Structure formats: structure tokens, C-alpha cells
Chains A and B, each alone.
Chain A
Amino acid sequence: MIERYNLFSPRLSFSSKHSQFNIRTAWGLSYKAPAMIQLYPGRTYIDYTNLNYFAENPNERLAVVTTYVQEPTNSQLKPNYTDLKEIGFDWSPSFWNFQFTYFRKELRRGIQHTDELVLLPRQGYEVIDSPPNQQPAVAPIEGELTYIPRILKVFKNNYNVDTDGVEFVLSGLKIEPSNSEVNFRYSYLKSVRTNLGFNIRNPNFVIGDNTARFGVFENSILQHNRSFGTLTLIQHIPSLRFVLTLATEFNFKDYRINKNASQLPYAYYDIDGNFIQIPEDQRDSEEFNDLIQDPSVFDPITDTPFYTNLNLQVRKETKQGHSFSFYAYNAPWYNPEYVQNGNTRQLNQKLQVGFSATILIE
């Protein structure tokens, strides 16, 4: 009970200032209740055919279709919690500010989709009367009840993420003669994501009747390393009450690797929904080649090359205190491309522009 409703989020922090240095450390525990969309994610509709009756006369055709409505209420979901530890220092001489922070964040009981195999009953129907120019009369066929296997996505508290991060900020570096200011921020993040839920997949192929099997696979552990920074130049022109901001994003590294990802199933569900373990030494055998996954179901490694992105913002103030600004993210419309696993991918695909005005009414 406490586990489910505990949203107590303590946080302790400590700092010690010595002249231009400030040392800080903190620890916090935060809980996050499941979102409404996770508790009540909305319905899932699954259609399947009971009877597909064709007649040459379109007025005499009829299809009997069952729509299975899954309306999940995930009241069993618990809040996730995050344990955050950080340590850092600030150095603030007269000409700049420098901040350095290391942190470790551990997310537990994260809410994530997982697979579930369900067998949906399908009642067979037959035509019992087919009057001319009308749809036929149909009736269930006694004893003809079969089951339709389907893989559903359900929310579970099965997601853990461990993140280590380093961040430093260099700010307030001013060039007085030109009224310019330079800031730089750099971050390095390494996260490891683990999904403890089921990973069920349709067979690659089906041979004949009643042979379909649904492979159960280990979820891979995703490691994500990201290194990026932003150099910002702010140019003031006081006589014109004009501020130009140029920000350049440096994307040094964006690297993802799926560890322990396996194309081989460790178990399967048969067409009747029975869970059957596969001995480890048989998982790559020909007998299970309907289950062995195509490597394209996951990219083993995604490695984005270094690229930059330039953002622009101009701001104009009037004597009366009104201000007008315009911004353009990815202003030069720079779209570098790279090839990953045989596919050409494009970066910086978004161009955003905006305008804002602030009118001061006295």
C-alpha cells in the first residue's frame, strides 16, 4: 500500500562557499505517480473476421466481423522513483563564472510498454438463408470456436534507467569594448536503460495450419552516450537598443548500442497460448528458424557523426520599453546526412522560426 501511494520526495543539499569557490552536493529522492494516460491509456480495437460472404450481387454480400475492445485500467501501476545524487563546484572570479557538476540518476519502476499474448475467441458463422437482393441470414456454427492470437502492448513497472552525467557551464565572459558576451555549456550523459518486460514477436513465416509460434526474446539493454555543448555569443548594440544572439550547438557524439540484444528466442508461445522454453543449445537450430528475428528489428549500433546547428535570435527594444524579437532555429537550414546500417539519415530536420512582441502599456 505504501509502495503504491508513497509520493514522499525528500531532498538534501549542502553547499560551502570559500571566496570565489562554492562547493555543493545534493541527494534527492523523487516519486512520480503514473500519468492518467498510463492508468487509462484508452481503448485498443482489434478486428477479426467471423464470416466473409461474397455474392455477385453487392446487395447480397455480408461480412461478420468481431471487434475486440481492450479497455485497460492499469490500476496496478506504481509510482516510479528517481534517486539523484550530485556533486559540483562553482568558481566565480570577476571575469567569468564556471560551474561543474557530476550527477548520477537512478530511475526505478519506470512505466513502459511490454508485450502480452492474448487469445481472442472467434465464433464461426454460416449463411442459413440467402434471399435475393438482400443480405443473407447468418447463424453461429455450433462448436466452431477458434482463437485468434494477438500481441498486445500493456504498461508495466518494468523500466530502469541509470544515468551518469557531467556538465560544466562557462558564463559571463564579457568583451567590454565590443559589448559582447560569450557563454559555453557542455554536457556528457551516459545512460543504461533496462526493460524487464516480455518481448514477444510474430513468427517470420507460417507454414500450413496451426504452426504459428510466437517467439519470446530478451529485451536488450540500451546504452546511450551523448556529448554536446552550446556556444552562445550575445552582441549588444546599446545605441540601437538591439541584441543579437547567436547560439551554435555542437553535437559531438550520439551513440547508442543495444547490448544483449538477441535474434534468438528463449521461449515461445504456441498457437494455443502455451509457454514453452527453448533449451539454449537449440535456439539457433533450424527447427526454430520461424522465430529467429531479422537483425533489422533493432539497430545494434547507432552512431551519429559530429554536426552543428546554428540558432539565431534578434531583439529590438524601443525607447518606450516595447520589445520585438525574432528567432530562427537551424537558421541556415543545414541538414547533414550520414549512412547508418544501410539507411541514409538526415539530421537537423526541423526549422523553427518565431516572432514575439512585448508592448508596454503605462
Chain B
Amino acid sequence: MKSVKQTKMKFFTTLSIFLLAGVLVSCSDDDIVIILGNMNIQLELETGLSDIPLNDINVQATNSTDNSEYSVTTDANGLAIFENLPLGNYDITVLEATENYTISGSATEISLVDSEIVTETITLSATNPNATLVIKEVYSTGGSSAVLIRDQFIEIFNNSFEVIYADGMYLANLFTPSTDNSVGDGLSGEDATNNVYARDVVQFPGNGQDYPIQPSSSIVVAFNASDFTNELLSTGIDNTDATIEIYSVEWLEANGGSGNTFFDSNNPDIEDMTNIYIMQQISGFYSISPSRPSIALVSADASVSNSDVVTYTNPDITSQTFPLVRIPVAQVIDGFETLESDDLADYKVIPDNVDAGFAVISPDGSNPSFSGKSVIRKVDEVATARFGRTILLDTNNSTVDFESIDAPDKYGYNN
């Protein structure tokens, strides 16, 4: 006969075996959870890009199951090493912005399924931050005393990396006082530091995608899309390759003015800019000053109505006034100003926050009218080398950004 004490001992022994077995089973489950993987992300630049260092760039991995995020900074060779990542699928993103460029790249669904090291290469693209349309060239002087100013044109260049549509944008010919006065001197109560003032305005027609400007390419707005190369043995230029032209004869006549078919011809194969605003005092045709053009490219968000028209009073002849269109600088995409000489800086018409300087068409002091000279924006050599495509200098300072050339160079920068 077994004793009660023996029975109790057998029970505790059996219980201890079960508990020990339970402890051993628990220790086996913990070993499976701690298996991790490593992932190496190698960054490289897209073909054509250069001068963009790849070290110290933040690379982000996002687990597509639980959205947990992991960040690593690249080494000197552009390699980001993620160590001990939980197994799973990851999306990789790279986005780094500096003052001079923005680089980006991504990869999706990179599987980390075992303890092996996964290596992935991501090709980075780069863009020029804040780049947009710029006025590339203003040819105002006219080809000769026979052509006069009929072959004028304005060229607009896309400095960005995306197609931009000019539809609805405005070109404003800015008012320049005829005497040595600042434009603000004749505009009582106006904030001339935050507005520009136009004497005539035309607008790109289109339904939103009719006038694309490809990256690093340009479009040309001719005052007459005509061929002036052989006219009267003159040395004008051929503007039949213009994107669009300005034509106002019939519009002016329908509004009580007089058109001028000599200065304002119509090429039916080239679309016309929409006539938006003109002072009756200059009724006849659109043109820009051959010696002192000042132009603003204005956003399609702008509008022109009676409430935007202000009166400029000549400070020297107070009975002489000019109705001008007020355009806030916030709506100016790009501005371009010229003066006849360097010592006239006090008479700039574009505020410094749009254009801090000005170009001079004839730095040698010769008369620019009918000289064939043009003013062209310089190439940004550093950015062009970095991005592998033509980027024009855009410091919002025409003194720095533009140079005078002896003959126009229409479409000269198009890649």
C-alpha cells in the first residue's frame, strides 16, 4: 500500500516535468522572432547629371505592411546600409532639396525575405528648384532703317524640367517715362514697389494646352511673323518661324482707333495673340521701345479690368497723363528691363523684387535703334553642366543675367 506522502511526491514530480516542458517550449518560440535582414541601397545619378554629391543623403525605407519607417544616411559613395530590418516588403524614397537643386528617386516592393543582404540601386533625377519660364531674349532695335522695328520679337524660355503651357499668360509692355522721372513720381497714391505698370498688354490664347513650352526650349512672340530678310535690300530677320504673332489692325479699327498695315502685318498661318489693352494715345500698332524695352511676363491668373487702370501724370507737364494697367508683382513670372545707359539706374520701372538690375543694349553708347542688336539671357554654366541641359541664368537681375549681342539669336538655346 502506497502512502499519502509517496502519492504527493509523484504528483509534484509530474507537475515539475510539465512545467519544465512548458518552459522549454516557450524558449523555442522566442528564437524565431529575432531573425532580421540587411538592405543596401546604392544611389546613382541619372545620365547627364553631374556635380551633385551623393553623400549624406537621407534614404527612407517604409515597411509596406505596417508602415514602419527607417532612415539611413548615405556614405561617401552614395551607399545607404539598413541593418537588422524586420523581414518584409519595403518602399524606398529619396528626396533631397538644396538651394541649387532637388534630387529624388524611389523603388517599391523590395522584398526582405531572409537573413540575406538585399542590394538595390536607385537612379536619382534632379530638378532646378523654383525654375519656371524666363524671358530669354528681347529683340527691340529693328534690323535696319528700312525694316524699322517691324521685326521685333520676344522669346520665352522654359528653365524648368516640366512642360509649361503659356496659354492665358500675358505679355505686358511696361510704361517708361519719357523724361528723367521714376514711374512712381507720376503715380499718386500708387505702390510702385509692389506693382508694375503696362502701357499695352497682349495675352496668349488657347484652352490650357495649346502653347506648350518644352523644358529647355523656347517660344517666340513676333510683332510681325513675316520675313524681313529680303525686304528693300535690308538686313531684317525672318520671323515666319515665330510661335505666335501680335496683330491688332482690325481690333483697333473696331474700337475707334486706326490700324497700321505697314507696321502691323498679319500672317494667317501664325496664330495671333489676343489684344487685351492699349492706350488710345498709341493707337496704330503694338511695338516696344527700340532703345528701352521693359517687359513683364504675367501669370494667366491675372486679369485686366477698369479698376486696374491708373493714371500716370507727367511730373514735368502735369496736363499730360497716361492710363496704365497696374499689375501686382506677385503675378509677374519674369521681368526684363533695359535703360539707355548705366547712369540711369534711378529711373528703373521694375521693382527690385522682380528685376534688381537692368540691361543696356548699346554699352558703347551708340544708338541702338535699327542697329540689329539684341539682348539675350546668359546660360547658367554651372546649372547647365549639373543638369545636362541648357539652363539660363535667373538671378532676377537683368544686369547680371543679360548681355547685348550684335544680332538676334532666336531659338539659339533650344536643345
Contacts and interface: CB of A to CB of B under 8 A. Distances in A.
Interface of A: 48-49, 52-54, 56, 63, 122, 127, 146, 148-151, 202-212, 214, 271, 286-287, 289-290, 294-296, 299, 341-343
A282 to B, nearest CB: 13
B320 A289 contact: no
Given A271-B255, A290-B306, A290-B323, 20 more contacts: A52-B250, A54-B265, A54-B266, A56-B240, A148-B253, A202-B280, A203-B255, A204-B279, A205-B277, A206-B255, A206-B280, A207-B276, A207-B304, A208-B276, A212-B254, A286-B306, A289-B311, A290-B309, A341-B318, A342-B316
A205 B279 contact: yes
Nearest to A343: B317
Nearest to A58: B231
Contact of B249 (A49, A151, A211, A343): A49
- Which of A146, A202, A208, A342 lies at the interface centre, i.e. has the most chain B CB atoms within 10 A of its CB? A208
A341 B314 CA distance: 12
A329 B289 CA distance: 45
Contact of A49 (B261, B317, B320, B323): B261
B404 interface: no
Contacts of B277: 205-208
Closest 5 CB pairs of A and B: A342-B317, A212-B255, A296-B319, A206-B255, A52-B266
A146 B227 contact: no
Nearest to A201: B280
Given A287-B306, A295-B319, A202 B256 contact: yes
A212 B279 CA distance: 11
Nearest to B277: A207
A290 B308 CA distance: 11
Interface string B213-251: 000000000000011000000000000100000010111
A54 B226 contact: yes
12 contacts: A52-B265, A127-B268, A207-B309, A208-B275, A209-B254, A209-B275, A271-B255, A287-B306, A295-B321, A296-B321, A299-B319, A342-B320
Contact of B320 (A207, A209, A286, A296): A296
A55 to B, nearest CB: 8
Contacts of B254: 122, 146, 148-149, 209-210, 212, 271
Nearest to A200: B256
A207 B306 contact: yes
A63 B250 CA distance: 12
A189 B317 CA distance: 30
B170 to A, nearest CB: 12
A294 B319 contact: yes
Given A204-B323, A289-B309, A52 B280 contact: no
Given A63-B261, A212-B255, A49 B309 contact: no
A286 B250 contact: no
B104 interface: no
A125 B267 CA distance: 15
Contacts of A295: 318-319, 321
Interface in B300-316: 304-307, 309, 311, 314, 316
A149 B256 contact: yes
Contacts of B319: 294-296, 299, 341-342
B255 A52 contact: no
A214 B275 CA distance: 19
Contacts of A209: 251, 254, 275
A289 B283 CA distance: 18
A289 B312 CA distance: 13
Contacts of A52: 247, 249-250, 261, 265-266
B186 interface: no
Contact of A150 (B256, B259, B266): B256
Nearest to B274: A208
A271 B254 CA distance: 8
B129 interface: no
A121 to B, nearest CB: 12
Contacts of B306: 207, 286-287, 289-290
B133 interface: no
Nearest to A300: B319
B278 interface: yes
Contacts of A212: 254-256
Contacts of A204: 279-281, 323
B257 interface: yes
B253 A49 contact: yes
Contacts of B268: 53-54, 127
Nearest to A47: B258
A271 B255 CA distance: 7
A209 B280 CA distance: 14
A270 B320 CA distance: 26
Nearest to A208: B276
- Which of B255, B277, B279, B318 lies at the interface centre, i.e. has the most chain A CB atoms within 10 A of its CB? B255
A286 B307 CA distance: 6
B240 to A, nearest CB: 6
Contacts of A48: 253, 259
Given A56-B227, A286-B306, A205 B323 contact: yes
A342 B257 CA distance: 28
Contacts of B252: 206
- Which of A54, A56, A271, A286 lies at the interface centre, i.e. has the most chain B CB atoms within 10 A of its CB? A54
Contacts of A208: 275-277, 304
Given A49-B261, A151-B256, A295-B321, A205 B309 contact: yes
Nearest to A211: B255
Contacts of A148: 253-254
Contacts of A63: 261
A146 B309 CA distance: 28
- Which of A49, A63, A150 lies at the interface centre, i.e. has the most chain B CB atoms within 10 A of its CB? A49
- Which of A148, A271, A287 lies at the interface centre, i.e. has the most chain B CB atoms within 10 A of its CB? A148
A202 B275 CA distance: 18
A211 B278 CA distance: 12
A149 B306 CA distance: 21
Contacts of A287: 306
B305 A207 contact: yes
A206 B323 contact: no
Contacts of A207: 276-277, 304-306, 309
A342 B318 contact: yes
Contact of B257 (A122, A206, A290): A206
Contacts of A205: 277-280, 309, 323
Nearest to B307: A286
Nearest to B318: A342
Nearest to A148: B253
